[in-house]
Amino acid sequence: MDLAADRAYVAIRSFIVSLELAPGAVIDERALMQRLELGRTPVREALRRLAQEQLVEVFPRRGMFVTNVDVRDLARISEVREALEPEAARLAAERATEEERDGLTALREEIGRGGDLMALDERVHRAIYAAAHNDLLEKTLGEYYVLALRIWTIALERAEDLEDAVEAHGDLLFAIVNGMGAEAAGIMRAHVQDFEAAMRRVLVTV
């Protein structure tokens, strides 16, 4: 994907995940082109990729729509993440470069400073995926993270214990930076389980 298409992808994905483009909304290709100041080709390439990632649905002769959100998907997504995220953490502990370990240490130091907790959570997870040095695992987990994030966005304002869930990354990052693969896998598994439980407590009342 070229730079223009990549920029379109990141922007449109952000509109969808933040619910600015609401579930079920019609995708207005021309409006996106005007807003992003991009041509038809990069926007279409971005939408094609988002369709592959199940964020956009294409219906012949009807058009493109943002996929609907089903909170019941959270359990299925979490099952996949619970299986794969611990392995990513274990591999990151074994394979991270010194530069990546420095980056993970810097992220650990950001925990507890406040700010956008979900943005920090995403940066932590994506850094771990990259440090695992398995492009297929990184791609798969990245896609499932985005699907989960859109569901979480519905409930973020009501998730009182979200801060605790994000701050739990401190021990995880320490284990990875220090090459403690088994410990990192265990902490990651517990984190995914605890985060899903926190979201579930909120979503049952949304």
Question: Domain limits of the chain?
Answer: 3-66, 73-203
> Domain spanning 73-203: which CATH class is it, in words?
mainly alpha
Residues comprising the chain, all counted: 206
Instruction: Specify which residues 26 forms β-bridges with.
Output: 65
Q: How confident is the model at residue 75 (pLDDT cuts 50, 70, 90)?
A: confident
Rounded to a whole number, what is the largest CA-CA distance in the chain?
55
**Topology (CATH level 3) of domain 3-66:** Arc Repressor Mutant, subunit A (1.10.10)
Q: How confident is the model at residue 79 (pLDDT cuts 50, 70, 90)?
A: very high
When the pLDDT of each residue in the chain is averaged and rounded to a whole number, the result is 89
pTM: 0.82
Average the pLDDT over each of 86-95, 112-121, 125-134 and give the range with the smallest value. 112-121
129-174 pLDDT, tens digit per residue, is 999 999 999 999 999 998 888 888 876 655 555 666 677 789 999 9
Can you give the pLDDT at residue 158?
55
Beta-carbon neighbour count of residue 41 at 10 Å? Answer: 13
Tokens (6 digits) for 149: 């994030």
Residue range 41-66: mean pLDDT, rounded: 92
